[in-house]
Amino acid sequence: MKIVVLDGYTENPGDLSWGELEKLGEFTVYDRTSLTDENEAIERIGDAEIVITNKTPITKKVLDSCPGIKYIGVLATGYNVVDYACAGEKGIPVTNVPGYGTDTVAQFAFGLLLEICHHVAHHSQAVHEGRWENCPDFCFCDYPQIELAGKTMGIIGFGRIGQKVGTIAKAFGMKVLAHSPHEHESGKAIGTYVDLDTLLRESDVISLHCPLFPATEGIINKETIGKMKDGVIILNNSRGPLVVEQDLADALNSGKVLAAGVDVVSSEPIHGDNPLLDAKNCFITPHIAWATKEARQRIMDCTLKNLQAFLDGEPVNVVNG
């Protein structure tokens, strides 16, 4: 059995082991495969039966050109890089890795928020540059410091990650509002479910943790921003297209939005003309909220479990079956 990993570097830059997967067959791993040249993916897959991908697209052309494929595993929760409908028509199960990043992604959301509240990196650099040493006072602040206790956190998307963010927010003394298509008892113990307009109107901080669907694409836009408090903080480490980036940039530059922290953008890697790059008080990180070693190990473990279950004839985490 031939197993091909098309883009293994971001999952495993060298600090994890592919060893258990290697035991299952003839194993080849590529650090990167073109995101735009389908022919490279076709050539690398060849007659392999098992294909594992993270962000390399598996299109209809790839599927038609590689008839030996029997299984596709995605090294992520999102699986839109695979034409899973076409794969299903060909009898090829596509699996994903759900739930691996709950703690990591929620933690990172607060990493963004706390940087906005305290500008830790900026002040540390200022100290290293000698500004505290030469300061006439015992301290200095280049930016106003923000206390979270007593403020309202609005969370759009209240699944596993959203609820974890809500739990952390409560620990900071924040009130939690949630908007989600489904209300779960576990969520009711953490926050109060409200309609979207109420959440927009009452929240001091809005954090996005919903999937990207037609109903959520561009959910942060000129109209919804207009319903928010002046000076609101917006966080997005879910999916870039949830935000109309020009509208957010305009709101940051006008001061309507105090600050934004985003780990994802509409097209990745980011393009040089992305309006958020020049917006005021916009903190941008390169899609790393998921990337702790612990979370990546869970991806590795689940990918192995998914493949082993398929080989045993009892597939799990199938998204197209």
State the catalytic residues: 239, 268, 287
**Residue 52 belongs to what H/E stretch?**
strand 50-53
Amino acid present at 1: M
N-term to C-term CA, the chain: 23
Of how many residues is the chain composed?
Answer: 321
Nearest to 241 by CA among 221, 217, 263: 217
AA identity, residue 200: L
Sign of the CA dihedral 221, 223, 228, 232? Answer: positive
Contacts by 23-30 with C-beta closer than 8 Å and gap 24+? 24/50, 24/307, 24/308, 24/311, 25/1, 25/49, 25/50, 26/1, 26/2, 27/3, 28/2, 28/3, 28/4, 29/4, 29/5, 30/4, 30/5, 30/6
Spatial distance between the Cα atoms of 311 and 142, rounded to a whole number of angstroms:
58
